[in-house]
Structure 1
Amino acid sequence: MWYTIYCEDIENSLPIRKQTRAAHLERIQILVDQGRLMVAGPNPAIDSKDPGEAGFTGSLIIAEFDNLSDAQQWADTDPYTLAGVFRQVTVKPYIKVLP
């Protein structure tokens, strides 16, 4: 089943994001390689594709897991989570309807 992982950043998370980005992207790439990723990306803090030093306010990942527990465990062990980028992470089941 698909699950949304919605992550809200702490204030001024950009320095930690930069330090941890490579490890976070490597982990996301595993989902891509396994065909389990629908979409993933950050929420810019300003209305721009390149927010620069304004940074980000959170991230969204929609990926396939066997169950909610597995999705939550994956989110709990993401490098951004472990490094303290996120102040809150919400994991919920998701049903894709369109397109």
Structure 2
Amino acid sequence: MLYAILCEDVENSLSLRAEARPAHLERIQELVDAGRLLVAGPHPALDSEDPGEAGFTGSLIVAEFDSLEAATAWADADPYVDAGVFAKVTVKPYKKVLP
């Protein structure tokens, strides 16, 4: 089943993100390689593809996991969690309807 992992950043998370980004992307790539990733990316703090110093307010990952528990465990082990980037992480079942 698909699960949405909704992450909210702490304020001024840009430097924390930069430090942990390579390890974070490496884990996401594992989902890509396994054919389990639907979409992933950050929420820019400004209405812009490149928010510059404004940074990001969070992230969204939608991926396939065996269970809610497995998705939650995966989210809890994210390098951004360890680095203190995320203030809150919510994991919910997700049903793709379109397209």
CA deviation profile, 1:59-99 (whole Å, cap 9, x unmatched): 00000000000000000000001111000000000011111
Give secondary structure in 1 for the equivalent of 2:66. coil
2:69, 2:56 → 1: CA distance?
A: 27
Give the root-mean-square deviation of aligned CA atoms: 0.3
Counterparts of 1:1-99 in structure 2, within 5 Å, are: 1-99=1-99
Q: Structure 1-normalised TM-score?
A: 0.99
* CA–CA separation in structure 2 for the residues paired with 1:46 and 1:23: 25
Q: Which residue identity lines up with residue 44 of structure 1 in the other structure?
A: P
Distance in 2 of aligned mates of 1:89 and 1:82? 12
Aligned pair count reads 99
Runs of 4+ in 1 over 6 A off after TM superposition: none
Q: Secondary structure at the match of 1:35?
A: coil
Q: Which runs of 5+ in 2 are unaligned?
A: none
Identity between Structure 1 and Structure 2 (%): 72
Structure 1: tracts of 5 or more residues without a match = none
User: What is the alpha-carbon distance in structure 2 between the residues aligned to residue 50 and residue 18 of structure 1?
Assistant: 14
Q: How far apart in 2 are the matches of 1:58 and 1:45? A: 9
TM-score, normalising length: structure 2: 0.99
